[in-house]
Structures are given as C-alpha cells and as structure tokens.
Amino acid sequence: MKIPIATSLRGELSVPGDKSISHRSVMLGAIAEGITEVRGFLKSADCLATIECFRHMGIEIDEIKEENRYTGLQESVLIIHGQGLHGLREPLEALDAMNSGTTVRLLSGILAGQSFHSYIKGDSSLQKRPMKRIIDPLTQMGCRIESEYENNCLPLEIYGGKLRAIHYSSSVASAQVKSCVLLAGLYADGPTTFFEPYPSRNHTELMLAAFGGNVKAKVDPLTMQPGAIIYPGTALRGQKLRIPGDISSAAYFIAAGLIVPRSEIILRGVGINETRDGILRVAKAMGGNVITRNVRMEGREPVADIIVKTSKLKGTNIGGALIPALIDEIPIIAIMAACAEGDTEIYDAGELRVKESDRLSAIVENLKNMDVDVEETEDGMIIHGAGGKKKRARRAPGRLGYFKGTVVDSLGDHRIAMAFSIAGLISDTQMIVKDTECVSVSYPAFYRDLAKLANPF
C-alpha cells in the first residue's frame, strides 16, 4: 500500500475492542455456566479463530445487533452459550489457532483439563513460535502434551484429564503462559501458583474473578516475584461484559498524533490497565503532549479518553518491568524514537524475537532502509533519533527530514505493517508497505480509521 504524506491529523476515534480481553471473553464464556453477553468484541482474525475453536467443541456463539443506548448506533453483541467447566465436547477436527499465539497458549490450558484428546494447528508464523513455555508447566501438571514434529512448536496434541496443582516460576514474563497455567489450574487438585520476573497483563485474573473464579494476585515470598494463585472448585457463571478499546491499537494513533505536524486527536474509551499502559508512560517521558481524561471503570478494567497533540519528542530508555507493559507497542515506539531528539535505548526485549515475526530485526532492517541511525542488540536496539539534527532545507509541508520513504517488508506481521504505515505519514518520500492485509489480525479497520483522521488520505 502507498502511504500518503499527511499534513495533519485531526478528529476523534473509538479504537476497536481489546484483543487480549476479547479472546478471554470467549474462553471464559464457553466454560462458564449460562449465557455470557459481550459488547465491543474485536472481530479480528485472531479473535475469530478463538470463536471457531470453541464452536468445534460444541459451544454455540451467536451475534445479534442492538441499538447502543448512548449513541443510537447499531452495535453487535456476542452471545456465548456457556456449558460449564466440563461441558466442552471432543473436537472432531483440528483446532486452528491461525496466527494467534494467545489462542493456542490459553486454549491449551483449558484443553489440558478436559477428558478428551485435541489437536491444535496454526499458520506458518505460529508454527515457528515457542510452545515449550506452556508444554513444561502443563506436563508438570500431569497432562500429556506432544509437539507433532518434536520441535516444541505446533501442531500440538493434548491428551487432557486430571491435573495436579503446581507452583510454577516462569523464566519469561508472559501473560499467555500465566493465563495457560491459571486456566489449567481451574481443573487441578489444589491451588496453583504462577510467578514471573515482571508483572504481565492481568486480564485473565480480572475476568476470572468477575466470572466468580477464586484467583488472587500473589508475590512469591521467597523471590518476591509477582504472580497469581488460583483455587479450583468454584463454578464460573456467565457475565455481561463490555470490552474496552485496545490500547495496543490506540498506540498507532497516539504516536501519529505526536509526530505528524499540526495534529490533535481524541481517542475515546481506551483501556488503560496499568499492566498495559507503558505506551502512555513512554510517550510522556519522551515529552509527548498526551492527556488522559474521563477515567472510568468498564467492569474491572479502567478506561479513559486520550487526547494527543503534536509534540517535540526526546529520546528515552525502555527496559525491565516496563517491557511487558508495552510489549506489542515497541514497533511504533521505535518510530517515535526515530523522530525524537537524542538516543532511545530499548533493552530486555528479547521476547520480540518470538512474536509474529522477529520484530527486533524487522524494525531495525526497515529503519536502516529508511536511513535511520539504529543499532540492533541481542535484546533490543539503540535508535539515534534525527529530531535534534538540523533539518535539511526546504521540505514540503509535513516532511520533517527524519527519514526517507522506502518499501517496507511487513513480513505479514500486523504490528510491523501498522507502525511503518504511521512512519509513512511523515517520510520525506513515498512509503510503500507490503502485505498490509495482515492488519486484519488485530485491527481490520486500521486504514479506514487512519483515513478519518489524516489530511489528506
């Protein structure tokens, strides 16, 4: 796709529902008793994959339309007919997680506790992603889980059944691994604990508690690592949920509002859970004019409107406990850093090598092609921002001399495609982003929403 240069971004937007929370609503709705109604569900390829997996296990999931009582607009509501913790049926076909790591890792935790056999497959990107991180704890719990090609990757065969409670310390901070263990813990013979180096997103814990599960945040008394404990034995009950806007999707427009000249954007109803709000903290540390207004709760998740204005950015350092709170936002943060004055160092981000693509190398390669001064490290990168350098003379409006346009290889990775599309709005010459259909994984309406704000698009 050819990305037009934008002279300004103005207006307001409601970004689509949170991907992580949407997945969890289907999973918990399916194993709860009674009906779960979900408003604001993200109808993206990843979340639809989760729905299909549960349909293959006998869960009826319908969509109805209703009028939103505040806006008067038609809104879709997902109706999940939950069958209780033991009500799933043995799937007759392979469960296809497609491109979605969240689907395969969380689903595996549930499948480990079922008294049937299942088989999970995924697309070529998902087949390369590490599954040992869930195979290990599930095996310790007594589940037989096999990687078909014995490479600790998909496809996986799961022979579920009775599970033992475990006390597990994960070497990676991962909400997917934590959620897998906690969901398996629903089926264990005693309380299961999970600890990790830094706190990862806590949507599973919050939603499980809303459904009546007995789960609590817990710190390991020996290592002081954060984590959670789940006590099995309580039934889950269907709920009415509203999914907040996805801060990971809002991040593209937060960055765009900061770097495109003469911009002012309002993003409505964005989830600002403190385990996810790293992008806001970094934007502010970089000197960005970002204001959160009208903070309120939607269920157990905090939500706010975010106002962003064009700002002069400066470099910052990003590592340690901050990384899990912005793990999916690093591609777009790298674009902000390229426009900033001074250096930005990103470290402790080795997990990015095992996402939908090796995001560290994808970011660095594409930035280098744009003439950005950047160095790749084992677990991150150092970006020498061009914001402070003397601008080259006589730019057309909107052209700031931070980087040149190029042909960006998104590697079919949605977050790379969206981040570099935002860069294209202010590149010196035309940016072309390849394989942009992949945005359907998390944000099918991304280019339509961008067109609503960008002048011209």
Q: Which residues have a catalytic role annotated?
A: 328
Nearest to 301 by CA among 21, 4, 65: 21
**Token code pair at residue 302:** 């905090």
SS3 state at 225: coil
CB atoms within 10 A of CB 171: 10
Q: For helices 330-339 and 247-259, what crossing angle results, to 10°?
A: 10
Q: Would you tell me which residues interact with ligand S3P (CB under 6 A)?
A: 20, 102, 174-176, 179, 200-201, 327-328, 351
Phi (first) and psi of residue 402, to 5 degrees: -80, -40
Nearest residue (CB) to ligand S3P, 24 versus 56: 24
Of the candidates 347, 286, 351, the one whose C-alpha atom is nearest the C-alpha of residue 313 is 286
Sign of CA dihedral 80, 83, 85, 90: negative
Least gap, CB of 117 to ligand S3P (angstroms): 25
Shortest gap between Cβ of 24 and ligand S3P (angstroms)? 7
Q: Which residue is nearest to ligand S3P (CB)?
A: 20
What's the closest the beta carbon of residue 96 comes to ligand S3P, in angstroms?
18
Tokens of residue 375, six digits = 């160095």
Give the shortest CB-179-to-ligand S3P separation in angstroms.
6
Complex with ligand S3P: residue 175 or 338, whichever CB lies closer: 175
Cis, bond preceding 130 (omega within 30 deg of 0): no
Q: What are phi and psi of 348, to 5 degrees?
A: 65, 25
> By C-beta, is 21 or 431 nearer to ligand S3P?
21
CB of residue 85 vs ligand S3P: minimum separation in angstroms? Answer: 21
Give the distance from CA 220 to its chain's centroid.
26
Measured distance CA(174)–CA(395) in Å, rounded: 44
Smallest distance, Å, CB 77 to ligand S3P? 22
We find the least distance from the C-beta atom of residue 323 to ligand S3P, in angstroms, to be 9
Nearest alpha carbon to residue 42 among 442, 448, 456, 453: 442
Residues in the chain: 457
Pick 27 or 143: Cβ nearer ligand S3P? 27
Nearer Cβ to ligand S3P (204/310): 204
Torsion over CA of 263, 266, 270 and 275, rounded to 10 degrees?
40
State which residue, 102 or 427, has the beta carbon closest to ligand S3P.
102
Going by their DSSP bridges, the two strands 117-121 and 95-96 should be labelled as parallel
The answer to whether the CB of 26 falls within 8 A of the CB of 453 is no
Could you tell me the two tokens for 330? 């690093």
Nearer to ligand S3P, 351 or 409 (CB): 351
Output 403 or 446, the one with its CB closest to ligand S3P. 446
**Angle, to 10 degrees, between the axis of helix 414-424 and the axis of helix 247-259?**
20
Instruction: Tell whether the torsion through CA atoms of 215, 217, 220 and 221 is positive or negative.
Output: negative
Provide φ and ψ at 413, rounded to 5°. Answer: -100, 115
360 by DSSP, 3-state: which? helix
